[in-house]
Structure 1
Amino acid sequence: MYKSSLPRAVRSALSAPGVGASAVLLGCFALPASAQQPEPASEADKLETIVVTGSRIRRVDLETASPVFVIDKGQIEKTGKLTVGDLLQSTPVIAGGATATNGAVNNGGGTGAATIDLRGLGTARTLILVNGRRLAGPAPDVNAIPINLVERVEVLKDGASAIYGSDAIGGVVNFILRKDYQGIEFGVDYGIADADDGQRKGVTMTLGHSSDKGSLMVGVNYHKQDSVSAADRKFSREALYLSSGSVSAGGSSRTPRGRIFLPADLIAQFNCPASAGGSVTRIPGASGASLSDYRCYNGAVDAYNFQAVGNLELTPQERGSLFVVGNYRLSDSVEAYVEAFHNKTRAAFAIAPLPFDARNDNVLISRDSIYNPFGIDFGRSGDNDSGNAFALRLEAVGNRRASTAVSTDQINMGLRGGIGNTSWQWDANFTYGGFSQSRLFGGYIFQPNLINAVGPSFIDANGVPTCGTPTAPIAGCIPVNMFNPTETPEGVALLSAPYRTNLNYVQREAEVNANGELFELPAGVVSLAVGTSYRKEYQNFSPDFLATALPPDYTNCLLAQDACTSAVVGSYDVKEVYGEAFIPILRDVAFAKTLNVTLGSRYSKYSTFGNSTNSKFGVEWRPLDDVLVRGTIAEVFRAPTISNLYAAPASNAPTFRDPCIGVTSPVGANANIDRACANVPRDGSFQGPPNGQTTGLVAGNPNLRPEQGKAFTWGLVYDPSWLEGLSTSVDFWRFALNDNISALDVNTVALQCYTAGNLCDYIHRFEADGQVFYIDQPTLNLGRLDAKGADFGIKYRLPETRFGTFRASLDATYTAQFNQLIRDNNGAPTGTIYAAGQFNRQLGNYARWRGLGTLSWELGNFDASWTTRYVHGFDLGTLRPGGESADGTLPNVVVNYGATTYHNLQFGYRIEPINARVEVGVDNAFDKQPPILFQNNVTNGNTDPVTFDTVGRYYWARFSIKF
């Protein structure tokens, strides 16, 4: 289905007059030959020049020093995909934890956005371009690009900071837009899962007109996707855990009947086993008014299955787009152009009701509440920590949910043309990008009301439950029975508090480019591209005052801790200048049909940190006509984002395994353990957080430096003349990145403190029992990242037969190494994450092999294709000292997973009399289920929804017609 390289025949076809002009990227407009260049000296010079992603030099060749993966419009249509994010999910070069499968990411997703993570280096290290210009947004959402506007997608698998600036570390994804379209095109799409859910509908329309003076194309795109419930899929309907060597259907200890932790004298009355952890729960059906209504907590039967009560495997989305692309020739040598699109997206998520924790939420349940049968305080109020934990699932408030409205605008306009009777062309343009997101959250509680409702209360003279004391009643407050909330519905109703967040991001850029020929050498013409730009970016994330985290520790706000966040406001500007030269060294000599080098450099001056200069060297050597040997060495960098720099402290809830679980080392025996496990009992009874998560506190850092590193590629392309239609390629790659910008992972902090005494100041525990209060996760230039591997591609068009034309292709990526060295804020190494061949809960999935194979057939008006996507087996957990364990209780547990292969089938028929086409298809034809990774390792549906299909077998159909 997808191309990894373009064979000789394709290069010639795209270089033909009238085709090459439509392939020009970066706004480089090809004027008529008489206005482009002097009379050519050879037949090759008659071919129209184009620009390929990864360079700004106009050339005839599409195969250059940099490897580029291409998905054209015909291939896009045969996938049946309605969004760009779904389209790119199958690309083998994508790894890690990006939300490329955005609809399947519910817990932590549900915004409708899709981001791209090339090589697994992180979404912030992948540059997204539209016709060579940056797509705006704090994390550019490729789903905002109307899919019927895309002519093709070019994925540069090489570092390109010298060409494009910051972020182009792991590579570049460049969406090339259609243009010069003539006529009307209308299409409708429909899809539905085999389980009779997840229905989708789509409509597209494109209108275009072209003339000698210019062209205009406008279009609309609408698509709606229904949700899929986790309860409706076998692999996700239960919350599955791996603990103590066994798999069980469990869930959260925050249950609707509560998990109540009691001091020794009270818990002794219940004679509970050690597995209860010193806690009790209300007996089903009991009122909770007396101690006899409670029994020992038993996780095997009492754990709350949050998967079955509203969690989603596919989130609902609805989006509409409008676009316009046009150009108008002002004179023989000057043309005006505009490329613009507007997208609106509505999406949602839903997760289980709010898990309330009196200690973490800074709420004190008073011993003097009329509903408290235990006669002791629970939770805390500031420094007043009762030492008694109280956890509850607030089903009475309803599911947590959010609806998201997103608006994305991208406008590029400018002038371009030629300079006299020369080969030189210029382009002056201005780009505006705007991104706005508004989110409305529900299912949360107003903390001040809750504090009053669970504080002291009494029965007044009229027999009415009243908040406060007889001498100081609290008006407008109804006491809430946290031990059985269903008995006080009026009080619970007063707690509900929806809130909003708003995010606005604006990007403005002015750019001037020029390129052309300098002079001729014996081996060919030396070409040059130069340019300068000015870009300013501004971000304002403003949460509702209810959800704004409050000092001094920023872990709480006026809502439950789950909702607390912080504002991010800031801006920066950057001035840049670049130059790139193409130099032919040898031509038509022994062992060198051609030998070319490319040199490029970019100087960037940021208002936030200063200067950065990055250069690139590329070489192309053809010892024979059929063989291209290529390689690049590139300096790369990433500037800190506005969030990296200016984010105020905000809490999150990462998956966490406390290294102090079961600790028996006496105080004073090991200084590192003493610091890591402060206040933790040393009798082996400590069980860590009851829900497998903790509170992390992330904050920006205005003193961050940019990431700096190098990217290397070297490889070979073989297009044998003895076998027409065959093209093969192999490219090896390596990335070495220093000063990584990242927030410390809570597990890294805890393990480093426990094993080496590092980062201990970031851990904050409660004095009463040693449970983690929160762990600081500062954003730092943490260390070094080393990754290497290889890309393989083969494409073969078989000779035409009476049975039709067959084509086969295979693209694969192998990840040999992915090591992330972590340092503390003093620069000392604190450990290394070895992610290759692993699923890492912090970084994502790094299966060593990923592949995409396609077999297609065409005969007359009929066509069909069979596509397979392969994800190699991987390990969950590691045996390395201090490494992550797949087991929620036992250390150093490794689970091995086999390979996963998906099969997609497509069949099409062209109805010539009406110029229409019908397509039908089935994705995941054999209903392959995703591997179970367990809830103690993931946060979405027991699996990795970024890598694996969570919907199952899916049928789709499309009808399109052209006039």
Structure 2
Amino acid sequence: MTVKTTKLRDAITFALVSGATALAGTGVAFAQDSSEQQATTLDRIEVTGSRIKRAEIEGPNPITVISRADMDAAGEISVADFLRNSVYNSFGSTREASGSSTGSQATISLRGLGSSYTLVLLDGRRMTTSGALNGAAANINMIPTSAVERIEILREGAGAVYGSDAIGGVVNVILRKDYEGMTISGGVESPKVGPNGNYASVAGGISSDRGNVTFVLDHMEREMMYNRDIKGIVTGAGLAWGLSTFNSAANIFIPGRGIVSAPNCDSFENSVMQANGTCGFDHGATSANESSMNRNAMLLNGNYDITDNTSLFFRALASNTDSLGVYASAPVDTFPTISADNPHNPHGADGTLYYRFTPLGTRDSLRADTFREYSVGLRGIVDMFGGADWQLTAGHGESNQSSVNYNYGIGSVLQELIDSGDYNPFIPTHPSVTAAAPLVGHTVYVESKQRTFTVDGNIGFDLFDIGDRPVGFVTGFEYRDDRFLQLYDAQSAAGNVFGSAGAPGGGERAYYAAYFESLFPILDTFSVTLAGRYDSYNDVGSKFSPRVSMEFRPIDSLLVRGSWGKGFKAPSMANLYGASSTTNLNSPPVPSAGLAGGDALACAALRTARTNTGDATYNPYPVDPCLTEGQYQWLVTSNSNLKPEESKNWGLGVVWSPTDAMSFALDYYDIELENVISNVPRALAFQFGDEGRPSYGVTRTPGFLAPDGTTMMPGVPQQILLPIDNGALQTVRGIDLEASYRLDTEAMGTFNTRLAVSHMLEYNFTPILSPTQEQIGDPGQPENRAQLSLGWDSGDWSAVAIGNYIGDSGEITTNAAGARVNRRLPSWTTWDLQGSVKLPWNAKVAMGVRNVGNKMPPFNASLYGFPYYDNTLYNIWGRTPYIRYEQNF
């Protein structure tokens, strides 16, 4: 099909088709020199956000395109690391963390809505979600980096096109295909602080006149990073090294006296005396910050022309990841008690122990993730409807995790030993501790499984003409069968294991959908696209999602676009059918609801007691209930009566290419989510629990009298119920700017510049039964993210500099006690540099440094627990030099 070229089309065609720039992509690419040709021959292609194949690459959907060259220039060794730096990953996303139950997982979260609201596609089809993420999100660590041809990010909702999950946006990973030859590549990186990493890959392909087969073998490895490796950085920032009340020489909570430590408690390993006269456990001395990862993957992608009009295509993707996470010895969070007359009790009073079980050593978690996706299909052209494209595909995917977790313990066994007098929790080196270790110790086994079977098909043709402009139309169907299962060993499932959280759960669901999409070219310069999708789940009901979009080109260099649509998101099977699970979190303030955070009931009593006794330092609790930094144990419960969430998206944008070498895009987006599934704010759940509201509750130790003898102090909270339900409201509004410029010179080569800025105007959340919270600019939720790329190439040489900017967030506040609290995170800017050269023997070497200035993340002990920074938004690796080699045959 011959299409008249325009400056705008040239600019975006370059981004989508050539993918050949040497810059870390922000998506609006550089124009080709249209003076060299007056017409461009383009096949109709399918672009993310629409199922209608069209010759015009640019359209009503704001799309960011990332080529292989862009990823190479960024110097990252995983897809997850690259996408985490995207300006549209607004507030960061999950990464492989040693202290997490999903330590090997990584996700992407567009617009800060959460990974379950970002749909990840592989070659335009939904990627199988991860069992370890409760089947609610995809683990992008399983995508082999060397198998990626390009990535397209749709920066708006597309529920009518792709169905549930496509609310915050869509990430479509296009895998390599139709490749001829062979490429061997490898590289190493060695951060100043973070873990060393390396990768190696082999990619090849063979073709005939009827088909092609492409294969990729990919290996990536990254070491574990221990917390002790960053101790100097944390303490150098003026922060106290993290210590835990759960100590190896047991601390005891005695009603009316508070936390009391064992005699000579600081004489034991990793037990440190604090300023308040009690010992805390140095858990950072033995724990890891980030888990290790070792991934091996294989891609096989092929197609074969059965006839001139029918082709067979297939894809097989297999990925295995092994990871190791190391946590400090297990805290006995079943809160054992000890009687005053116990022969080992040096305090002569009944109490609750804050004890860490150290004889078995650290908790080591070995995780094996497996990902398998297979698809096979037919596509072709038929003479029906004046000529139609059709496609039919079947696919099967599994994403599973097996986790073996050593050196946990059975709380009831430990309690029996303490009660019998056969165990001394106050002296870690006591013979009774060593003797009891094999009796108390327990290995936790967890199996997380997600299996998906799909069948889908569509047919596209022209309905009729408006003038000489054909009206394109696509209709299709999708069937999906999902099965999710999490299995725990019997002791864990019964809640008998200390130092661990989780419970079994699972479910099955069948899903059906039918959809249509039609493009109406009403004028040469104005088109409207209508789309609709009917989704039906056998467990949560059905919904129709409409969408309308428009594109207006008053002149060749200018595109004005807009869209409006609805969508809905089904609750995950874990939210519907999962068992309750425990987690340790703080109780942050909710200013809009007039809640100061912490333990409000205990705080009020504590203030009275301090006034009555005249002792402003009196605190009989493990953590100060008037502050918000302390953590409590929460029991999160599922809800089989959950309903789907509903969304509305609309946006407006303009793309302007005044010259062949310059392009600007400005887009506004607006997302509103209703009936959102969430918890009430934790401080409110605390209040509801103390009030005895249905579905809420707080389990406390018995109350006690303060030293003044009159003030009744509520007991220590040991567990707070945190149920999930529908009823919250979320709105997100913002503006994206993308700009690019290319300068060609005869003497000095070509200079390329790209800028991407994402500015969030509003991020409001209205929790269940609570006032609206204006959260934009809150800590860890910056209004602004930006990336600037400056590139140069001349002959065989090229270089690039990439600047990454995360805006400031948070502010200085006042806590419930009237003290000034710093809850602010300053802006964070890092620069990456890379230089590369092509060698005469068809090879390429690239050397670079990420974070040249060795910029550390913003720390804040008022916001985060140890080690006091948000590793989903920042990293602590520091200056990271790397080298890469690529050999082509």
Question: Which amino acid is 1:258 matched to?
Answer: A
1:509 to 451, 454, 458: 454
1:443 CA drift (Å)? 2.6
Question: How far apart are the structure 2 equivalents of 1:810 and 1:846?
Answer: 21
CA contact (8 A) 1:569 1:647 kept: yes
Return the match for 1:645 from 576, 587, 612.
Answer: 576
Task: Using the TM superposition, give the Cα deviation of residue 46 of structure 1 relative to its aligned residue in structure 2, in angstroms.
Answer: 5.8
Q: Residue 233 of structure 1: CA displacement?
A: 2.0
Q: SS at the partner of 2:631?
A: coil
CA deviations on 1:389-429 (whole Å, 9 max, x unpaired) are: 22123333312221100000111110000013844100000
Distance in 2 between residues matched to 1:535 and 1:487, nearest whole Å: 58
In structure 1, C-alpha distance between the alignment counterparts of 2:360 and 2:818, rounded to whole Å: 36
> 1:96 corresponds to which letter in structure 2?
F
- Partner deviation per Cα, 1:610-638 (whole Å, 9 max, x = no partner): 11110111010111111111111110211
Matches within 5 A, 1:888-927: 893-911=821-839, 913-927=840-854
Match of 2:424 in 1: 481
**2 CA distance for matches of 1:745 and 1:937?**
16
Write the deviation string for residues 500-558 of structure 1: whole angstroms up to 9, x where unpaired. 1001110111001111211110262100011011111101100111211x4xxxxxx22
2:440 and 2:414 map into 1 onto residues whose CA distance is 6
Aligned to 2:34: none
Partner amino acid, structure 2, of 1:83: S
Aligned residue for 1:444, secondary structure, equals strand
Alignment match of 1:717 (pick from 655, 660, 677):
655
Tell me which of 371, 387, 390 is aligned to 2:344. Answer: 371
- Structure 2 CA distance for partners of 1:487 and 1:634, relative to 1, 3 Å: same
Query: Secondary structure of 1:252's partner?
Result: coil
- The alpha carbon displacement at 1:435 in A equals 1.0
The 8 Å contact of residues 215 and 328 in structure 1, kept in 2 or not, is answered as: yes
Are the equivalent residues in 1 in contact too, given 2:740–2:752 (CA < 8 A)?
yes
Equivalent of 2:393 in 425, 429, 436: 429
Distance across 1 between alignment mates of 2:401 and 2:695: 37
Q: Return closer, same or farther for 1:68/1:504 CA change in 2, 3 Å cut-off.
A: same
The answer to whether the 8 Å contact 2:19/2:66 transfers is no
**TM-score scaled by length of structure 2:** 0.88
**CA positional deviation for 1:752:** 7.2
| Cα distance between partner residues in 1 of 2:559 and 2:127 | 33
User: Where does 1:296-311 land on structure 2 (aligned, <5 Å)?
Assistant: 298-299=275-276, 302-311=279-288
> 1:145 and 2:143 equivalent?
yes
1:7 Cα deviation (Å)?
4.7
Work out the CA distance in 2 between the residues paired with 1:9 and 1:279.
Answer: 73
The alpha carbon displacement at 1:256 in A equals 2.5
2:772 corresponds in structure 1 to: 832
Corresponding position of 2:707? none
**Residues 864-920 of structure 1, C-alpha deviation per residue, up to 9 Å, x if partnerless?**
1000100011115767xxxxx6x9x76783533321111011111111x32111111
The letter for the 2-side match of 1:363 is P
SS in 2 for 1:643: helix
Alignment of 1:320-719 (within 5 A): 320-357=296-333, 361=334, 363-377=336-350, 388-420=351-383, 422-457=386-421, 479-488=422-431, 489-522=434-467, 524-548=469-493, 550=494, 557-560=495-498, 562-587=499-524, 594-656=525-587, 682-684=608-610, 685=618, 689-690=622-623, 692-719=630-657
Aligned to 1:77, the other structure's residue is in SS state helix
- Deviation (angstroms), 1:495: 1.9
Alignment match of 2:788 (pick from 839, 849, 853): 853
Alpha-carbon shift at residue 483 of structure 1 (Å): 1.1
Which digits, 9 at most, give the CA deviation of each residue in 1:467-489, with x for residues without a partner? xxxxxxxxxxxx22101121122
Report the secondary structure of 1:220's partner residue. strand
Given residue 125 of structure 2, which amino acid in structure 1 is its aligned partner?
Answer: R
Gaps of 5+ in 2: 1-5, 21-37, 130-134, 591-595, 611-617, 624-628, 704-713
Please tell me whether the aligned partners of residues 260 and 278 of structure 2 are also in contact (alpha carbons under 8 angstroms): no
**CA–CA distance in 2 between the matches of 1:115 and 1:658?**
28
| Residue deviations 1:93-114 (CA, integer Å, cap 9, x gap) | 1123521xx23x3322663221
Q: Is 2:156 the partner of 1:161? A: no
Match of 2:114 in 1: 122
* Secondary structure in 2 matching 1:119: helix
Q: Deviations over 1:204-251 (max 9, x none)?
A: 00120111110001121011101222222256555999xxxxx64452
Q: Structure 1 residues 109 and 950 mapped into 2: Cα distance closer, same or farther (>3 Å)? A: farther
Letter in 2 for 1:613: F
Counterpart-to-counterpart distance in 1, 2:180 and 2:821: 61
Spell out the pairing of 1:879-958 with structure 2 (5 A cutoff). 893-911=821-839, 913-934=840-861, 936-939=862-865, 941-958=867-884
Contact 1:239 1:250 in 2 (8 A): no
Structure 1 counterpart of 2:398, which letter? G
* Contact residue 238 and residue 305 of structure 1 kept, 8 A: no
Report the alpha carbon displacement of residue 833 of structure 1 after superposing the two structures with TM: 3.0
Deviation at 1:952, TM superposition (A): 0.6
> Which secondary structure does the structure 1 equivalent of 2:523 belong to?
strand
Change (3 A) 1:278 1:952: closer
Is the 8 Å Cα contact of residues 337 and 352 (structure 2) preserved in structure 1?
no
Identity of aligned residues (%): 26
Task: Verify the 8 A CA contact 1:256 1:393 in the aligned structure 2.
Answer: yes
Residue equivalent to 1:254: 246
Aligned length: 831
Deviation of 1:295 (Å): 14
Residue in 1 that maps onto 2:175: 177
**1:279 is matched with which residue?**
260
Aligned-partner Cα distance in 2 for 1:296–1:84: 44
Q: Choose 340-349 or 415-424, whichever is displaced more.
A: 415-424
Superposed CA RMSD in Å reads 3.2
Residue 18 of structure 1: CA displacement? 14
Contact residue 224 and residue 288 of structure 2 kept, 8 A:
no
1:201 paired with 2:136, answer no
Pick from 205, 213, 218: which aligns with 1:216?
213
- How far off is 1:791 after superposition? 0.3
Asked whether the equivalents of residues 446 and 558 of structure 1 are also in contact (C-alpha less than 8 Å), the reply is: yes
Deviation at 1:493, TM superposition (A): 4.0
Q: 1:190 to 1:250 in 2, by over 3 A?
A: closer
Give distance in 2, aligned partners of 1:616 and 1:481. Answer: 67
More displaced, 425-434 or 767-776? Answer: 767-776
Report the TM-score, using the length of structure 1 for normalisation.
0.81
1:960 is matched with 886
8 A Cα contact 1:161 1:167, kept in partner: yes
Unaligned runs of 5+ in 1: 20-42, 242-246, 268-276, 288-293, 378-387, 458-478, 551-556, 588-593, 660-664, 666-671, 824-828, 840-844, 880-884
Aligned to 1:730: 666
Match of 1:872 among 795, 798, 807: 807
Distance 1:817 1:455, change over 3 A: same
Deviation at 1:961, TM superposition (A): 0.8
Equivalent position SS for 2:70: helix
2: distance between equivalents of 1:890 and 1:563? 36
Q: Secondary structure at the match of 2:821?
A: coil
Q: How does 1:53-68 map to 2 (within 5 A)?
A: 53-68=48-63
